[in-house]
Amino acid sequence: MFGYYSGSYSAVGTSIMAMFVKIVGKVNYSEMYDANPSMAPMILFPFAIVFFFVLLNMFVAIVMSSYEILRNSTQLKTEANARIAEEEGATWTKKLMNFVFCTAPESKDDQKEDEEDGRGTFALIQSCG
């Protein structure tokens, strides 16, 4: 179609390269128009529109993929922090209730935890009674 009049479209390889150059923004429309005035706009404008949407979809796909990875990472961190806070809250609630009601820890493990954390909760409970 354009190869007879233009060297850029004389072979399949050079045609692909010429169209790739058009994708990145260096459009030589006058060369196409001089070769075939009726077909130049019917080839170039649909090509530009189609590849604009293809490149836009690729960009959106990359952004969405990155967002999904980031969201999952943040969600995992939030869940881990929530579990830690829940465990610490339960431990401190148990210790507070033991202190308020002047009761000893329920098991030897609780006593061992009190001694290990160095806060003296077990000693305070002992002094209640």
pLDDT along the chain (129 residues), means of 10: 63 76 76 80 84 90 91 85 83 77 62 56 50
pLDDT number for residue 11 = 77
Domain ranges of the chain: 1-37, 38-128
d(CA 53, CA 65): 18
